[in-house]
Amino acid sequence: MKQYNVAIVGATGAVGNKMREVLEERNFPVENLRLLASARSVGKKLSFKGEDISVEELKENSFVGIDIALFSAGATISRKFCPIAAKAGAIVVDNSSAWRMDKEVPLVVPEVNPDAIKRHKGIIANPNCSTIQMVVVLKPLHNVAKIKRIVVSTYQAVSGKGLKAVEELKLQSKALLEGAEPEIKVFPHRIGFNILPQIDDFLPNGYTKEEIKMIQETKKIMEDDSIKMTATTIRVPVFNCHSESVNIETEKKLSPDSAREILSKSPGVIVLDEPASCKYPLPSIADGKDECFVGRIREDESIENGLNLWIVADNIRKGAATNAVQIAEIVIKSLQ
Ligand code: A2P
């Protein structure tokens, strides 16, 4: 099998570290792995397939000889360096928000719209973590019953904001349990034993950028602008895995039983829905897994054709690293 030279940009971060792990776990055909981060991380060693690889500083010439570049160092870095990597001949899978809504850039969830990859011009975007887990579950229902409207509220883990945020939740929880004053650095308020109704900055219409990302990205990935949607995105004091309460209104009637039946056969979905024995998706169950878990499926009795669902997934794996590597796997199939 042909082997590829792969680069991870942001290799020392929460998602970058997971990308390296997932490449190894899925036995991605890597010839050479280049790990790129800021000058602060130069000299750091990270292991891949039993070998220590030194982290290098991201520079304009970092992509010479690279076939696949996985980016996860934030939108500012991606805006500048993705085109540089693509120009050097790499196919880029970008985990930031920089290119997601660009008309020339496919926005891909492999279980939902794998064919969009064919239209790439060097850059392919990985969607927002909260969007990915929702569309993996909703697309199979949309195919059968056509979703007219989505109302989603998220309960997002701190890992989505990076390693510093994970550390902040640990330190604040410890301080609060010891009766000390917690230090606030990463979030606008204390996250320890608290809930924040803000993810990313506010826009003039009162929504946050995270909420608008979810709405716009869902329509692009599902390839249906007619879907009406509203979102409220919330940060909760959970280390890893995002949860979502999702309400859908469909054109065709879909019973909870038929939704369960459809979802139990859908790729990347695990139905966990036995309320009588307290079985439903939880962050502690989804942690470390690649599937999107769905449960609490029930009729919305306030409208004619409506369902409520509870969706949980590992935001660092399926919401970021795994989805990016799955895209790269489809890309290399087309190169063989
Ligand atoms: P570094 O560790 O050297 O700062 P997280 O999302 O977990 O905070 O991770 C962000 C990732 O983006 C890290 O790998 C970080 O590297 C990387 N990064 C941040 N700023 C830069 C930069 N200016 N150039 C290259 N990589 C960067």
Ligand 1 atom nearest residue 16's Cα: 14
Name the residue of 12, 55, 163 to mutate for ligand 1: max ligand atoms within 8 A of Cβ: 12
- pLDDT tens-digit series, residues 37-64: 999 999 999 999 999 999 999 999 999 9
Q: What are phi and psi of 135, to 5 degrees?
A: -70, -30
Closest residue CA from atom 23 of ligand 1: 38
Ligand 1 atom nearest residue 9's Cα: 26
Residues identified as active-site: 129, 242
Q: How confident is the model at residue 336 (pLDDT cuts 50, 70, 90)?
A: confident
CA 78 to ligand 1 centroid distance, Å: 11
Tell me which residues have their CB closer than 6 angstroms to ligand 1: 10-14, 16, 37-38, 40-41, 58, 73-74, 77, 162-164
- pLDDT tens-digit series, residues 275-323: 999 999 999 999 999 999 999 999 999 999 999 999 999 999 999 999 9
Task: Tell me if the pTM is above 0.85.
Answer: yes
CA 38 to ligand 1 centroid distance, Å: 6
DSSP class of residue 325?
A: H
CA 269 to ligand 1 centroid distance, Å: 31
Length reported for the chain? 336
CA 186 to ligand 1 centroid distance, Å: 15
Ligand 1 atom nearest residue 41's Cα: 3
CA 77 to ligand 1 centroid distance, Å: 9
Name the residue of 20, 38, 159, 167 to mutate for ligand 1: max ligand atoms within 8 A of Cβ: 38
Closest residue CA from atom 22 of ligand 1: 38
Q: Whose CA is closest to 191, among 213, 154, 153, 159?
A: 159
Tokens for 125, please give them: 């975007």
- pLDDT tens-digit series, residues 153-209: 999 999 999 999 999 999 999 999 999 999 999 999 999 999 999 999 999 999 999
Closest residue CA from atom 6 of ligand 1: 162
What pLDDT sits at residue 143? 98
Closest residue CA from atom 14 of ligand 1: 10
- pLDDT tens-digit series, residues 61-91: 999 999 999 999 999 999 999 999 999 999 9
Identity at 310, one-letter amino acid code: W
Ligand 1 atom nearest residue 162's Cα: 7
What is the average pLDDT across 108-122? 98
What pLDDT sits at residue 25? 98
What is the average pLDDT across 136-158? 98
Q: How confident is the model at residue 335 (pLDDT cuts 50, 70, 90)?
A: confident
What is the average pLDDT across 249-257? 98
Identity at 267, one-letter amino acid code: P
CA 222 to ligand 1 centroid distance, Å: 31
